[in-house]
């Protein structure tokens, strides 16, 4: 069936935002969410939804990451969804938002004239040239789409400028001729391939009222032109949907999809750059998911995801399946160029009967990795997280599942009354890094978030703990101990250095000292720095704690923290510059109190020995009347 993305009206989104509190993350519980990990890709000031993300890493410069998504920000201007483009130049730490040209109200481009864009897919070629595919269509008042048109766009300047090419035009009446749906892109990046650099697109074509067929087109001139669409699937009576292409060694092109009539995962291959394809074969039988998963109302599917090891050619196909009475992630593999496939292996290692769905897989030489939505952490089988697993022996054994999302997401949140969260998520993979992108609702809106695995090294200061912030000069007292709390946020053991300094309001430094410590992975360490105040002038001071970035760290936003310290003349408890009856009363009213007692006032413990006693009273008495 045609799976156009749903629309959302501006008034509906505003109404939903008013009844679903920002940060709602559990059913019936409203609380403010604080982003403590993961990076937010989208930063839409209109707070409209973004979903169905895709991501790619530049093979020339791995710090450059590009992503796409269905982006509804134009709804705030009375329009519909369009194709969002997001780019990062710092390993996915910070992002810049934009839309592909041709959106309603924008400058004229080849995609102009369509109301809606969706089904994003993004990829780089070997030279760092960026490609983006999807569909554009015209939304009718009923919500249905006509003119479903496949396009491909490319950019040589990281998305500043785009060249857009129409690949397959749709019709001008709903299913009256052709509606093209769910394209995905692959680029031949195999160094020794005779077809290196060729761009491939596969999608579903709906002709009149016939079931969908899998169509294909290729470009051998960098995306400037594409071949006429050809049909890959060969069972006209069956409905085909959810195709994904991928390229393996020697430039062999594979395309997989689901036959939703017979409930089979299918595959076909081309050994001649897409000129011809083998007869499709059934890879596995699918036990389809129910129309909606328990406790949810969003649409889902068992559409496959495909990856090929670029060196040894192992073909991997993953999908979600209901054979165990709940949705699990399964994977099959072929070591003979898709002639035969292994039995399905379950990737999620939880012991619950909660659901996992929407997998995405990628492969590099010697590694296959997978991500998916996962509800194992919610006893109610409702809220979602992102989990990850990988294999370094061609899929024979898999690593324990790792949670990538730091906050669970509520699919009922934000804009669609729980009925749409996109149809897939995305992941990019290099030899050292996997990067996932997903829909996330921690901010009370459908946003795109990202995380890499393993995470970038990161250490940060999470707090400065002070027993007091008023001290005195010119008297004998115990020193002030400042505890600096440092968190190692990554799964690596590190050796850190923390610099601690004390300076006055003019910037004069009175203390500067460093300490080192070896925090274990994901651990917190406390470092104590001693501050003597006897010889400090009266005044205001700033304590500055800074943890030096560790090797490979790019996010230093939380590496420095400050705290204030007041140094008074002896006996001036309230800091008004004179020792008088007010200070004497302060000591007297708290006399006998010890640190930890409800009546303990740190400023009245002038010598900082933990008890307010005759010594403190005598200090006030001996300095009574003094000013300074």
616 sits in which H/E element: helix 614-622
- Say if 215 falls within a structural domain: yes
- Say if 312 falls within a structural domain: yes
pLDDT tens-digit profile of 58-103?
A: 999 999 999 999 999 999 999 999 999 999 999 998 999 999 999 9
Do 526 and 617 belong to one domain?
no
- Say if 281 falls within a structural domain: yes
- Say if 510 falls within a structural domain: yes
- Please tell me the predicted confidence (pLDDT) of residue 7: 80
| Final residue in a domain of this structure, among 568, 584, 602 | 568
Q: How far apart are CA 278 and CA 281, in angstroms?
A: 9
- Please tell me the predicted confidence (pLDDT) of residue 70: 98
Q: Mean pLDDT check: name the lowest of 124-133, 164-173, 184-193, 494-503.
A: 164-173
- Please tell me the predicted confidence (pLDDT) of residue 628: 86
CATH number at residue 194: 2.120.10.10
* First-to-last C-alpha distance (Å) of the chain: 83
SS (HEC) of 575-601: CCCECCHHHHHHHHHCCCCECCCCCCC
Do 319 and 427 belong to one domain?
yes
Backbone phi, then psi, for 402, in 5-degree steps?
-120, 130
Beta strands in 169-302 (DSSP E): 178-187, 199-207, 213-219, 230-231, 240-247, 253-259, 264-270, 281-285
229 closest CA partner among 213, 211, 253? 213
CATH number at residue 556: 2.60.40.10
Backbone phi, then psi, for 583, in 5-degree steps?
-70, -40
- Please tell me the predicted confidence (pLDDT) of residue 8: 75
Do 337 and 461 belong to one domain?
no
Strand partners, 315: 308, 334
Do 164 and 35 belong to one domain?
yes
Tokens 């990067």 -> residue: 435
Tokens of 611: 């008890």
Q: How far apart are CA 139 and CA 9, in angstroms?
A: 13
- Say if 1 falls within a structural domain: no
- Please tell me the predicted confidence (pLDDT) of residue 176: 55
314 close to 253: Cβ distance less than 8 angstroms = no
- Please tell me the predicted confidence (pLDDT) of residue 237: 94
Do 169 and 302 belong to one domain?
yes
User: Which tops the pLDDT comparison, 90 or 54?
Assistant: 54
pLDDT tens-digit profile of 232-273?
A: 999 999 999 999 999 999 999 999 999 999 999 999 999 999
Do 277 and 340 belong to one domain?
yes
- Say if 2 falls within a structural domain: no
> Could you list the residue range(s) of the whole structural domain that residue 581 is in?
571-628
- Please tell me the predicted confidence (pLDDT) of residue 4: 80
User: How much of the chain is helix, strand and coil, in % rounded to 5?
Assistant: 5, 40, 55
Beta strands in 291-400 (DSSP E): 305-308, 315-321, 328-334, 345-346, 356-364, 367-374, 385-391
User: Per-residue pLDDT for 178 more than 90?
Assistant: no
CATH number at residue 580: 2.60.40.4130
b/e burial code for range 390-410 (CB count within 10 A of at least 16 → b)? bbeebbeebeebbebbbbbbb
- Please tell me the predicted confidence (pLDDT) of residue 375: 98
- Please tell me the predicted confidence (pLDDT) of residue 208: 85
Peptide bond into 454 cis (omega under 30): yes
pLDDT above 90 coverage of the chain, percent: 87
For 297, counting Cβ atoms within 10 Å of its Cβ (0-12 exposed, 13-18 middle, 19+ buried), the class is: middle
Do 319 and 437 belong to one domain?
yes
Helix, strand or coil, per DSSP, at residue 30:
coil
Tokens of 281: 């074969």
| Final residue in a domain of this structure, among 550, 568, 586 | 568
Q: Kindly state the average pLDDT of the residues 602-620.
A: 98
Q: Mean pLDDT check: name the lowest of 304-318, 382-396, 447-461.
A: 447-461
- Please tell me the predicted confidence (pLDDT) of residue 37: 67
Do 414 and 500 belong to one domain?
no
pLDDT tens-digit profile of 569-601?
A: 999 999 999 999 999 999 999 999 999 999 999
Q: How far apart are CA 417 and CA 420, in angstroms?
A: 8
Give the angle subtended at the CA of 104 by the CAs of 229 and 418, to the nearest 5°.
85
- Please tell me the predicted confidence (pLDDT) of residue 171: 81
pLDDT band at 449 (very low <50, low <70, confident <90, very high): very high
Helix, strand or coil, per DSSP, at residue 138:
strand
164 close to 178: Cβ distance less than 8 angstroms = no
- Please tell me the predicted confidence (pLDDT) of residue 98: 96
pLDDT band at 380 (very low <50, low <70, confident <90, very high): very high
- Say if 78 falls within a structural domain: yes
Count of structural domains, the chain: 3
Q: Kindly state the average pLDDT of the residues 282-293.
A: 96
- Between β-strands 367-374 and 509-517, what pairing exists: parallel, antiparallel or unpaired? unpaired
Tokens 């105040």 -> residue: 533
Do 40 and 92 belong to one domain?
yes
Do 414 and 532 belong to one domain?
no
Do 187 and 330 belong to one domain?
yes
User: Per-residue pLDDT for 348 more than 90?
Assistant: yes
b/e burial code for range 233-253 (CB count within 10 A of at least 16 → b)? beeeebbbbbbbbbbbbebbb
- Length reported for the chain: 628
554 close to 564: Cβ distance less than 8 angstroms = no
Q: Kindly state the average pLDDT of the residues 208-217.
A: 94
pLDDT tens-digit profile of 102-135?
A: 999 999 999 999 999 999 999 999 999 999 999 9
Q: What is the mean pLDDT of the chain?
A: 92
- Say if 166 falls within a structural domain: yes
292 close to 320: Cβ distance less than 8 angstroms = no
Do 22 and 129 belong to one domain?
yes
Distances (CA, A) of 22 to 53, 152, 296, 370, 438: 22, 36, 20, 31, 19
Backbone phi, then psi, for 483, in 5-degree steps?
-100, 120
pLDDT tens-digit profile of 22-38?
A: 222 222 222 222 224 69
């Amino acid at each position: 069936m045609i799976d156009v993305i749903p629309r959302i009206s501006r008034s509906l989104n505003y109404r939903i935002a008013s009844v679903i509190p920002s940060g709602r993350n559990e059913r019936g519980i409203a609380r403010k969410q604080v982003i403590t990990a993961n990076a937010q890709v989208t930063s839409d000031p209109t707070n409209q939804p973004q979903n169905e993300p895709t991501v790619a890493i530049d093979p020339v410069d791995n710090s450059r990451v590009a992503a796409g998504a269905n982006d509804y920000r134009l709804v705030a201007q009375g329009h519909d969804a369009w194709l969002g483009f997001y780019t990062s130049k710092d390993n996915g730490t910070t992002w810049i938002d934009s839309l592909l040209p041709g959106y309603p109200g924008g400058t004229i481009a080849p995609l102009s004239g369509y109301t809606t864009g969706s089904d994003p897919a993004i990829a780089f070629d070997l030279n760092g040239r960026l490609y983006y595919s999807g569909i554009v269509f015209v939304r009718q008042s009923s919500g249905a789409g006509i003119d479903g048109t496949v396009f491909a766009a490319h950019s040589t300047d990281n998305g500043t400028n785009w060249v857009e090419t129409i690949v397959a035009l749709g019709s001008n009446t709903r299913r009256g001729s052709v509606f093209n749906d769910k394209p995905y892109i692959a680029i031949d990046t195999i160094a020794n391939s005779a077809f290196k650099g060729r761009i491939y697109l596969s999608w579903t074509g709906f002709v009149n009222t016939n079931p969908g067929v899998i169509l294909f087109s290729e470009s051998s001139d960098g995306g400037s032109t594409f071949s006429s669409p050809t049909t890959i699937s060969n069972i006209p009576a069956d409905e085909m949907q959810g195709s994904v292409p991928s390229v393996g060694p020697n430039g062999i092109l594979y395309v997989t999809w689901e036959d939703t009539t017979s409930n089979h995962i299918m595959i076909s291959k081309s050994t001649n750059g897409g000129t011809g394809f083998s007869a499709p074969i059934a890879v596995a039988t699918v036990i389809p998911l129910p129309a909606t998963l328990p406790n949810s109302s969003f649409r889902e599917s068992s559409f496959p995801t495909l990856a090929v090891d670029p060196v040894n050619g192992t073909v991997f196909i993953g999908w979600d399946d209901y054979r165990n009475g709940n949705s699990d992630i399964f994977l099959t593999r072929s070591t003979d160029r898709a002639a035969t496939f292994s039995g399905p292996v379950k990737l999620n290692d939880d012991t619950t009967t909660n659901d996992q769905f929407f997998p995405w897989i990628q492969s590099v030489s010697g590694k296959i990795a997978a991500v998916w939505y996962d509800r194992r952490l919610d006893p109610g089988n409702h809220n979602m997280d992102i989990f990850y697993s990988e294999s370094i022996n061609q899929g024979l054994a898999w690593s324990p599942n790792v949670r990538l999302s730091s906050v669970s997401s509520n699919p009922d949140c934000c804009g669609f009354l729980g009925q749409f969260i996109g149809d897939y998520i995305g992941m990019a993979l290099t030899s050292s890094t996997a990067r996932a992108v997903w829909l996330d609702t921690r901010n009370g809106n459908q946003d795109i978030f990202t995380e890499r695995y393993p995470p970038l090294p990161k250490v940060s200061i999470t707090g400065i703990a002070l027993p007091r912030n008023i001290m005195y000069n010119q008297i004998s007292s115990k020193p002030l101990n400042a505890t600096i709390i440092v968190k190692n946020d990554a799964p690596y053991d590190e050796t850190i250095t923390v610099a601690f300094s004390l300076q006055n309001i003019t910037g004069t430094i009175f203390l500067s000292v460093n300490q080192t410590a070896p925090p274990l992975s994901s651990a917190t360490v406390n470092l104590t720095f001693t501050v003597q105040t006897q010889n400090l002038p009266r005044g205001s001071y700033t304590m500055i704690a800074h943890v030096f970035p560790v090797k490979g760290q790019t996010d230093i936003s939380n590496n420095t923290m400050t705290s204030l310290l007041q140094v008074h003349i002896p006996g001036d408890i309230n800091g008004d510059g004179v020792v008088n009856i007010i200070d004497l009363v302060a000591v007297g009213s708290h006399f006998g109190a010890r640190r930890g007692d409800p009546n303990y006032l740190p400023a009245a413990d002038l010598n900082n020995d933990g008890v307010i006693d005759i010594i403190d009273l005598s200090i006030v008495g001996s300095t009574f009347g003094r000013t300074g």
